[in-house]
Structure 1
Amino acid sequence: MDRGLYEEDHEAFRAVVRTFVKREVEPYLLKWEEQRLVDRAVWRAASAQGLIGLAVPEEYGGGGEDDIRFRAVMMEELAAVGASSVQLGISLTEDIAMPYFLELTTQEQKRRWLPGLASGELISAIAMTEPDAGSDLQGMRTTAVRDGDHWLINGAKTFITNGIQADLVIVAARTDPAAGSRGISLLVVDRDTPGFSRGRKLDKIGLHGQDTAELFFNDARVPADHLLGQEGGGLRHLLERLPRERLSIAMGAQAAAEAAFGWTLEYVKERRAFGRPVASFQNTAFTLAELRTALDVSQAFIDRAMLALNAGTLTVQDAAKAKWWATDLQQRVVDKGLQLHGGYGYMAEYPIARAFLDGRVQSIYGGTNEIMKEIIGRQLIGSD
């Protein structure tokens, strides 16, 4: 089905991405899984091909193009080879952290950070989640106290994507504990900041190539001019950018589900049972028909959401719908696909098996899907 979403420039971009993935990503996937870390060189190689830093203005070395459809193309091509860990690491910088650096920085901060982010020399992360505060951002306990020309940060963050490799970490901390939701601010912490340390590389059931870490702050001294946006405006800044983050997760989930469907369709056409292709059995055909229909319907909604984001009209509720629906669908498609692979679906060398583990977290991070339903429900019944 022709989606009618992409234009000539997007397809030209796809050709470059596909070559990049074939040369710089696919041959190293097993190595990165084993070392539990994607090599930093990938960011630099992607930048050299003009694949990251797309939204960074040209004066800072970026592409000057904030069309989310280019990011969708890259997600699709990475998903096609099962590069979930690479996709998440790059998406964290490009879709989640980058808007903060683009929209909340002063001119001096832009000159300081954007060139390195655009070139792939700097990897970013964002630290919101704490051991006792996940989807509930107002429950965070990390504090930042002003000390002359610095902030002193104390606290801990966990489940931080890119946590081991990040050179710049956007940290949400309470700068005024008495002000409630208006007492949270965002501070950029450099890799070598005194008092900042990284804990263990977390041992996850999936996404083994993606570095996820605990971060600790013990009187971490952060220059005062590393404040992002308004002091006390941190929660508002986070909430304003969560729709884009959630749409990004939905886009990645949709791409991963599409890839899993493709692997399954190819497998059942080739695999034979009782003297005929597995695809010829009615149960297989019905399952494939159901999944294909669900994927097409889901894609239509996500495409509409992408265009709304480009136009600046994406709502909090529609982003929540996209995130919830696509990540649930991803798990359904992968689970059904694994079942149709039979015993081979349980073997780690098959991409469907890795996708089964890699995709499970999608309905958890970025706000659990239960929170997404809460957001949608509140809007429906008119609750604050």
Structure 2
Amino acid sequence: MTPTRTGTGPPASRARAAAAALDQALGDPAESARRTARLDEAEEFPAELCAALDAFGLPAHYVPTRHGGALDDHEELLHLWRTVARRDLSATVAHAKTYLGAVCVWIAGSPEQTRATAAAVLDGTPVAWALTEPDHGADLLNNELTATAHPDGYRLDGTKWPINNATRAGLLTLLARTGPAGSPRGHSLLVVDKATLAPGTWRHLPKAHTHGIRGIDISGIGFDGATLPRQALLGPEGTGVETVLRGLQLTRTMCAALSLGAGEHGLRLAARFTATRVIQKRPLAERPHPASILARCAALLAATEAAALLAARSIHSLTGELGVTAATVKALAPTLVDSVLGELAELLGARSFLTDVPEYGGFQKVARDHQIVAVFDGSTPVNRAALVQQFPALVRGHATGAADTAGLAEAAAAGRPPGPLEYDALTLASRRGSSVVQSLPALAAALRTRPTPSGLAEHAAALSGLTELLHTRMAALRPAARPPMAAHELAAAYELCFAGAACLHLWTAGEHDHAGEPLWADGLWVRAALRAVRERLAALLRTPAPAPAPGDGDLDGTIARVITDAATTGAPVTPFGAPAPRAGEAA
């Protein structure tokens, strides 16, 4: 399949232009909403939308350009996925699984494996990632499915469940035990082509019925003596868990696209409702309490977008730091967006629960669908535990201000083509820490020496101070195999520091490129995002609520007006988002 491109255009526009082209290709959003509601009620797979994504050429964006695909920019893939997710999160989960299933092949595959997998993906074959088992979940080291070596290859025995696309996929990247149970070197990855398996040696397990993403193929697969050739082994024997952990750094980062699409969908629905719902001759959006909720939700979504965007670009330019970045963003994005959807439900009232109300009936679906994102590719506690284990490196890096300035500048240059991703640069833990957070004190100091929008320098300085306090508490934490709950709370605080720092880096790098856009005028989005981040951070650290910064007086009202205008006209509701077509506008 030929990759779909939308022209080169100015460097800063390619990713957003690709997203706009995809949105246009997917047709009338009102019809999409009706179709996804019918499929959800019937628990039916979104085959038509997935076929449209195939026709657009989205599978090519799952294959690196060096293997004949179109994947050379994870920022572009982030925008493409969020575009689909704001229409139907279920279809995004179903289709994007192929990227997750194939990523370990790009990391550790032989030339023959990469050629075969690339050809299959480009031809539209779904690929699944078969990691979890019924009795072990995220505890991969204690999985029981075995791949027993014999002279001609491997014999598979055991079960994988629950697996996204276990039944529909033609290929599986399978984690199997090839050594002692519980050993980091006791598992290997194998590429399984189901078409080559002997009948009677394997079986599909029934679809699991789920609360959200109801039509998706969440099922399983069992093996009883299925044989694979020796060339099915992916990488050296015993390296399966290490390869999975490296792959998870990419997939965890990109899962943020699901949250961005869900959050944007919910925000647009609520903003249009508050703009048109009139009580006592006055729209809800003009009342202080609804305006403050709408403003806070828009600010938190902007902070989520900044963290996700900088992380997606860091895949290319700060690859060695993804051990921190991926865990941070994977825990942060679904947490903030779940909070946003909860607050927006308050604005919508009964409409947030109804299924058959035109337009607003979609809110209950996106709220249900998004709840599973926090579990994907390692749950929030799993990612926070991974972050806690890296606290010593983060504390050292913060103390010295260590940062890869060139890599950080490239990560913050949103929209510009990134450098190539070197998969060999993926490491299990970041030796440097996080350039994004560790450069925050210097950035906050620099903002005090130049003209900035009213209150921005004060927000930056306060965030830097809270970040310093956080690292002091991180340094005081004693290492432990099972960290206390307090450690997880510090990890949650670190996520917010990362988001706030990402906001500042992206605003500083992009303020001139976006001059004239309503959310960028007078630093509107970044001031609102920093205020919202500081409020949550102060609560986690149990410090006094942040004092208002200059210019915060009418921030809620201004943000609410901009968001409601954008939601009703189809303009972007986030600082880096693409426009959304209204009913009847898409081809």
Inter-partner Cα distance in structure 1 for 2:202 and 2:37: 31
User: What code does the residue aligned with 2:365 have?
Assistant: R
The equivalent of 1:117 in structure 2 is 121
Taking the TM superposition and a 5 Å limit, the aligned residue runs for 1:52-131 are 52-56=59-63, 62-63=69-70, 65-81=71-87, 83-94=88-99, 96-120=100-124, 122-131=125-134
Note if contact 1:253-1:362 (Cα within 8 Å) is conserved in structure 2: yes
Task: Identify the range of structure 1 (327-336 vs 266-275) with the bigger mean alpha-carbon deviation.
Answer: 266-275
2:292 matches 1:286: yes
CA distance 1:179–1:268, change in 2 (3 Å)? closer
2:376 matches 1:372: no
Inter-partner Cα distance in structure 1 for 2:382 and 2:180: 25
Unaligned residue ranges in structure 1 (runs of 5+): none
State the Cα distance separating 1:101 from its structure 2 match.
Answer: 2.5
The two structures have a TM-score, normalised by structure 1, of: 0.90
Inter-partner Cα distance in structure 2 for 1:317 and 1:372: 9
State the Cα distance separating 1:59 from its structure 2 match.
Answer: 7.9
Note if contact 2:107-2:247 (Cα within 8 Å) is conserved in structure 1: no
Inter-partner Cα distance in structure 2 for 1:380 and 1:220: 43
User: What code does the residue aligned with 1:369 have?
Assistant: T
Inter-partner Cα distance in structure 1 for 2:182 and 2:354: 52
Of residues 189, 192, 195 in structure 2, which corresponds to 1:189?
Answer: 192
Higher fraction of strand: 1
Taking the TM superposition and a 5 Å limit, the aligned residue runs for 1:1-384 are 7-22=12-27, 26=32, 28-38=35-45, 40=47, 42-43=49-50, 45-56=52-63, 62-63=69-70, 65-81=71-87, 83-94=88-99, 96-120=100-124, 122-177=125-180, 180-192=183-195, 193-194=197-198, 195-311=201-317, 312-349=319-356, 350-381=361-392, 383=479
Task: Identify the range of structure 1 (251-260 vs 182-191) with the bigger mean alpha-carbon deviation.
Answer: 251-260
Inter-partner Cα distance in structure 2 for 1:45 and 1:347: 28
SS of residue matched to 1:181? coil
Note if contact 1:62-1:115 (Cα within 8 Å) is conserved in structure 2: no
Inter-partner Cα distance in structure 2 for 1:179 and 1:302: 33
User: What code does the residue aligned with 2:83 have?
Assistant: E
CA distance 1:241–1:212, change in 2 (3 Å)? same
State the Cα distance separating 1:176 from its structure 2 match.
Answer: 1.3
Equivalent pairs counted in the alignment come to 376
Task: Identify the range of structure 1 (141-150 vs 228-237) with the bigger mean alpha-carbon deviation.
Answer: 141-150
User: What code does the residue aligned with 1:154 have?
Assistant: D
SS of residue matched to 2:147? strand
Note if contact 2:89-2:261 (Cα within 8 Å) is conserved in structure 1: no
Note if contact 1:36-1:211 (Cα within 8 Å) is conserved in structure 2: no
User: What code does the residue aligned with 2:326 have?
Assistant: A
Note if contact 1:129-1:158 (Cα within 8 Å) is conserved in structure 2: yes
State the Cα distance separating 1:140 from its structure 2 match.
Answer: 1.0
Task: Identify the range of structure 1 (273-282 vs 360-369) with the bigger mean alpha-carbon deviation.
Answer: 273-282
State the Cα distance separating 1:367 from its structure 2 match.
Answer: 1.1
Inter-partner Cα distance in structure 2 for 1:213 and 1:203: 9
Deviations along 1:10-51, one digit per CA (max 9) or x if unpaired, are 233123211232279926424532453435565554343232
Identity %: 24
SS of residue matched to 1:362? coil
User: What code does the residue aligned with 1:235 have?
Assistant: V
CA distance 1:284–1:374, change in 2 (3 Å)? same
Inter-partner Cα distance in structure 2 for 1:18 and 1:98: 25
State the Cα distance separating 1:178 from its structure 2 match.
Answer: 6.0
State the Cα distance separating 1:304 from its structure 2 match.
Answer: 1.4
Note if contact 2:270-2:348 (Cα within 8 Å) is conserved in structure 1: yes
User: What code does the residue aligned with 2:133 have?
Assistant: E
Note if contact 1:151-1:223 (Cα within 8 Å) is conserved in structure 2: yes
Note if contact 1:243-1:314 (Cα within 8 Å) is conserved in structure 2: no
Unaligned residue ranges in structure 2 (runs of 5+): 1-9, 394-478, 482-587
Deviations along 1:177-205, one digit per CA (max 9) or x if unpaired, are 26811010011222242322111100000
CA distance 1:222–1:39, change in 2 (3 Å)? farther
CA distance 1:328–1:57, change in 2 (3 Å)? closer
SS of residue matched to 1:230? coil
CA distance 1:261–1:236, change in 2 (3 Å)? same
Inter-partner Cα distance in structure 2 for 1:282 and 1:296: 21
State the Cα distance separating 1:326 from its structure 2 match.
Answer: 0.7
SS of residue matched to 1:159? strand
Task: Identify the range of structure 1 (148-157 vs 374-383) with the bigger mean alpha-carbon deviation.
Answer: 374-383
SS of residue matched to 1:186? strand
CA distance 1:6–1:283, change in 2 (3 Å)? farther
Inter-partner Cα distance in structure 2 for 1:315 and 1:58: 21
SS of residue matched to 1:339? helix
User: What code does the residue aligned with 2:190 have?
Assistant: L
> Highest Rg: 1 or 2?
2
Note if contact 1:55-1:66 (Cα within 8 Å) is conserved in structure 2: no
